[in-house]
Amino acid sequence: MRTAILAAAALLGLAASPLPALAQAPAVEVTEAWARATTSAARAGGVFLTLKATGAPDRVVSASSPVAEKVELHETIRDGNVMRMREVPALEVRPGTPLVLQPGGLHIMLIGLKRQLNRGESFPLTITFEKAAPVTATVTVQAAGAGGGHRH
Ligand SMILES: [Cu+2]
């Protein structure tokens, strides 16, 4: 019976993805996605969110959004008395430990903003993982100073 089903699937051109329902698909949940409002002159902006791996460990390898020409993964490092940001190649997400992206720490950077981000608006951000299927999150724009200052 199983052989017959597989043969039928092969005939239909489905052989490349056998029995997907039985596989433990890697998955990562994205919650609490928000960005800071920007001025009309701003060319970059930060996005913050929480990532939870529900299965195997995974890595965020890239992101994209229609509001920016380019989206980078950033970390914040202390350089003397100055906080600087730099790009990182990936963000590790481990099961059981939510990865919280927040001001002063890891974040997603919108580079080459195509428009101002106004408080109360939202926009889509697509996150690509090494294993899990891509997730498109809805990012809510909060006040320019939201989430800052008191966290570090
Ligand atoms: Cu940054």
Q: What's 88's domain CATH number?
A: 2.60.40.1890
pLDDT for the residue numbered 150? 39
Task: Dump pLDDT digits (tens) for 35-86.
Answer: 999 999 999 999 999 999 998 999 999 999 999 999 999 999 999 999 999 9
- The alpha carbon of 20 and the centre of ligand 1 are apart by a number of angstroms equal to 37
- The alpha carbon of 85 and the centre of ligand 1 are apart by a number of angstroms equal to 5
CB 85 within 8 A of CB 75: yes
Q: Is residue 60 part of a domain?
A: yes
Mean local confidence (pLDDT), 106-133: 96
If one counts the domains in the chain, the total is: 1
Task: Dump pLDDT digits (tens) for 11-32.
Answer: 455 555 555 554 556 699 999 9
- The alpha carbon of 70 and the centre of ligand 1 are apart by a number of angstroms equal to 12
Q: Is residue 68 part of a domain?
A: yes
151 has a pLDDT exceeding 50: no
- Pairing relation of β-strands 135-142 and 28-36? parallel
Q: Per the structure block, which two tokens stand in for 104?
A: 């002063």
Measured between alpha carbons, how far is 123 from 140 in angstroms, rounded to an integer? 7
Residue 36 sits in which domain range?
Answer: 25-142
pLDDT for the residue numbered 126? 98
